[in-house]
Amino acid sequence: MTSIPTIQLNDGHDIPQLGYGVFRVPPADTERTVSEALEVGYRHIDTAAIYGNEEGVGAAIEKSGIPRHEIFLTTKLWNDRHEGDEPRAALGESLEKLRTDFVDLYLIHWPTPARDNYLHAWEKLIELRDATLARSIGVSNFLVPHLEKIVASTGVIPAVDQIELHPAYQRRDIAEWAAAHGVAIEAWGPLGQGKYDLFSLEPVHAASVAHGKTPAQVVLRWHLQKGFVVFPKSVRIERLRKNLAVFDFTLSDAEIAAIDDLDSADGSGRVGSHPDDVN
Ligand code: NAD
């Protein structure tokens, strides 16, 4: 079975660099697809309360018989639960659905700056970590000002920032801030969600031919060599297998540089929502 490398987070915990994300996996299919993912070797699952499929994830993990500590499990706090003691209640509900006593990583899903409660939510996540309900805590879709605000106020640096990132939308300002502060970047939409055609871009195509790999595998390999954590989504087992088969080749420095050049300087490569607009 493929051995997946890990990255050490700033709190000392290890995260498998490649996982399986279940955004838009229908709840009725989730137990099957997560079971298949675990079967073919994935040990890192990324879900969220808002995906509505935590029950399927929990059922698959429990039925797999794989010891809980061998699986890295992430879920996320939804936007309408930042206030008061809601984060604790929300995590409790997620844990029940996931059939576990703790998550490996709990994230604030979006900063929702117009509500401006993300600092309070971050303080609550620190409590949840101290109560060992979440081993690591982090954020998602946070821009540099949001990151700076929570760190300046609490002194606690998030373990990760999970942001939309792919060759056409490289978020260099956030990636540089994260590298300087020891925050791991998790790249969501690593394949452009199928909305941005990364696969026919020349450097991706050329590397695909050179290495006898699919364009999707080349893009995933680029993320891994950049040091990002990824969890591409698919409901097809043959793609789950292919997305895992990215540890037997290496892109050259020139191939990496050519893909780096695909970044859209004006941000036009973005396929998802802008964090300022999600409230
Ligand atoms: P993705 O870039 O992983 O794209 C998924 C799509 O790519 C699939 O629907 C499929 O059509 C295609 N695909 C997958 N494997 C392929 C292959 N081998 N060859 C060709 N096409 C392939 O986008 P995503 O699902 O949005 O992102 C991955 C994960 O990131 C999600 O499942 C979720 O866990 C997370 N996510 C987080 C946020 C957030 O706000 N934090 C937002 C979106 C996604």
**63-86: per-residue pLDDT in tens?**
999 999 999 999 999 999 999 999
Domain residue ranges of the chain, discontinuous segments joined by +? 6-195+227-236
To test the pocket of ligand 1, the residue of 234, 240, 274 to mutate (highest count of ligand atoms within 8 Å of its CB) is 234
pLDDT at 265: 80
pLDDT at 3: 87
Cα of first residue to Cα of last residue in the chain, in angstroms, is: 42
pLDDT exceeds 90 at position 247: yes
Residue with CA nearest ligand 1 atom 32:
21
CA distance 137 to 122: 9
Ligand 1 shell residues, CB under 6 Å: 21-23, 46, 109, 140-141, 162, 188-194, 216, 231-234, 239, 242-243, 272
Contact call for residues 22 and 53 (beta carbons, < 8 A): yes
* Structure token pair of residue 115: 């509500």
Residue with CA nearest ligand 1 atom 13:
234
To test the pocket of ligand 1, the residue of 204, 220, 233 to mutate (highest count of ligand atoms within 8 Å of its CB) is 233
Global pTM reads 0.98
What spacing in Å lies between the alpha carbon of 241 and ligand 1's midpoint?
15
What spacing in Å lies between the alpha carbon of 16 and ligand 1's midpoint?
17
Q: How distant is the alpha carbon of residue 181 from its chain centre?
A: 18
What spacing in Å lies between the alpha carbon of 194 and ligand 1's midpoint?
8
pLDDT at 2: 73
Nearest atom (ligand 1) to Cα of 109: 41
pLDDT at 199: 97
204-233 residues labelled b (16+ CB within 10 A) or e (exposed): beebbeebebbbbbbbbbbbbbbebbbbbb
Contact call for residues 17 and 6 (beta carbons, < 8 A): yes
What spacing in Å lies between the alpha carbon of 220 and ligand 1's midpoint?
11
Closest residue by Cα to residue 271 from 169, 161, 142: 169
pLDDT at 65: 97
| CA distances for 82 relative to 56, 70, 135, 140, 160, angstroms | 25, 30, 19, 14, 18
To test the pocket of ligand 1, the residue of 103, 106, 193 to mutate (highest count of ligand atoms within 8 Å of its CB) is 193
Burial of 256: CB neighbours in 10 Å, binned 0-12, 13-18, 19+:
middle
Mean pLDDT of 3-32: 97
Provide the annotated active-site residues.
Answer: 51
CA distance 88 to 14: 24
Q: Following DSSP, what letter does each residue of 67-95 receive, concatenated? A: -GGGSEEEEEE-GGG-STTHHHHHHHHHH
Element spanning 218, H or E: helix 215-226
* Structure token pair of residue 69: 């500590």
Least-confidence region, from 44-53, 146-155, 192-201: 192-201
Closest residue by Cα to residue 54 from 31, 38, 87, 77: 31
What spacing in Å lies between the alpha carbon of 189 and ligand 1's midpoint?
5
Q: Does domain 6-195+227-236 have CATH number 3.20.20.100?
A: yes
Residue with CA nearest ligand 1 atom 35:
188
Residue with CA nearest ligand 1 atom 27:
189
